[in-house]
Amino acid sequence: MSLYSKRGVSAQKEEVHLATQSLDKGLYPHAFCKIYPDVLCGDTSWVNVMHADGAGTKSILAYLYWKETGDVSVWKGIAEDAIVMNLDDLLCVGIYDQLLFSSTIDRNKNVIPAEVLQTIIEGSQAFFEKMKDFGVHITYMGGETADVGDVVRTIAVNGTMAARWPKDKLVTNDRIQAGDVIVGLAGFGQTDYEDAYNSGIASNGLTSARHDALHKTYAARFPESFDNSLQEEVVYIGPHRLTDTIDTGGFTTTVGKLLLSPTRTFAPVIKELLQGHFDSIHGLIHCSGGGQTKCLKYLPGNFRIIKDNLFTPPPVFNLIQQASKADDREMYQVFNMGTRLEIYTSPADAAELLAVAGRHGVNAQVIGRVEESSEKELHLETGSGQWLKY
């Protein structure tokens, strides 16, 4: 059993999928989000989408960092995480504007004071204002903030995003076909809409990252930061403290800043692509829960996905793998490993899509291709040169 499983989490969410397998898959079963007819207005040429996600256990990392450094601004990043994990999923069905967002924050009032709530709420509004500058309009509808200390040990920051969208402007992944190439967008580096270097960690696999990278002393100092029923052998087993300095090869930062980089949104890039190159986009996949294997869930038929030119994993993933001793198979299944979003397109159209990403400072390259197959399968080459099949 993997360390990830021993900590009570699953990269593939098998039990969740089992529990929901009998539910209606919506109008387009292969689309990245569930899409329904327009029940709000009854227009058959429009659809409704509502999506829920959040920062996950990354909020616990923010809690540790805040307690250790006193820097309350770290919670602004958690606000962005909760929004972007919704927004970028909706981007993958073609929705990029006139969105509604409602936050859901559950806290233990005994350990999370009002200043943390205020920072999260203000951070959310600041992110919406920034996106407005790029023509991505998100209306903040408020939400629920509950004091539920009997339910949560620290804080859970989540949200729901909804939109009404024209049916003929959807990306449903049904156009993915053999012969397509895959343009990958990197989650690391610094774009023209980010204020600092982004490590690329996003908001998946943070249970693993936290326990594998951080030192056992965090368990003793902050017992409220983990499930006390876990076996000691899987709790904070790493060598690092959040304030340890790390040389990335280009600059020096801290472990905490690498692990807490806000999830990058690709909204400015995808909005421009959808407006100017809609017909070139055959499919969109957000490499979130499930990492590089996420694509297998949304293929419209039996295809072989070959990923033989993924980005070299940025330093944060090397840090996690060295601390955890996890093999490449688990790393690429849990983490995005630096390649966060996939655009399926024809070889002839790839250059134009790469150019748009480049203008925004987003590293982009053709990372692979789609081939005919008798089954859905994924072959990928890791940063260490190993080939894996899923």
DSSP string, 64-76: HHHHHH--TTHHH
Give the separation between CA 366 and CA 344, rounded to whole angstroms. 10
* Three-state secondary structure call for residue 172: coil
Residues in a beta bridge with 161: 51, 101
Q: What is the pLDDT of residues 59-110, one digit of tens each?
A: 999 999 999 999 999 999 999 999 999 999 999 999 999 999 999 999 999 9
* 263 neighbors 191 (Cβ within 8 angstroms): no
Q: What is the pLDDT of residues 242-294, one digit of tens each?
A: 999 998 888 899 999 999 999 999 999 999 999 999 999 999 999 999 999 99
Q: What is the mean pLDDT of the chain?
A: 95
Q: What is the pLDDT of residues 307-354, one digit of tens each?
A: 999 999 999 999 999 999 999 999 999 999 999 999 999 999 999 999
CATH of 3-198+260-389, one of 3.20.20.370, 3.40.50.2300, 3.30.1330.10, 3.30.70.2860: 3.30.1330.10
pTM: 0.94
Structure-token pair, residue 191: 């774009």
Furthest-apart CA atoms within the chain: distance in Å: 58
* Residue boundaries of the structural domains of the chain: 3-198+260-389
What 8-state DSSP symbol labels residue 291? G
- Reported as type and span, the H/E element at residue 307 is strand 303-307
* 84 neighbors 55 (Cβ within 8 angstroms): no
* 98 neighbors 163 (Cβ within 8 angstroms): yes
Give the separation between CA 65 and CA 254, rounded to whole angstroms. 11
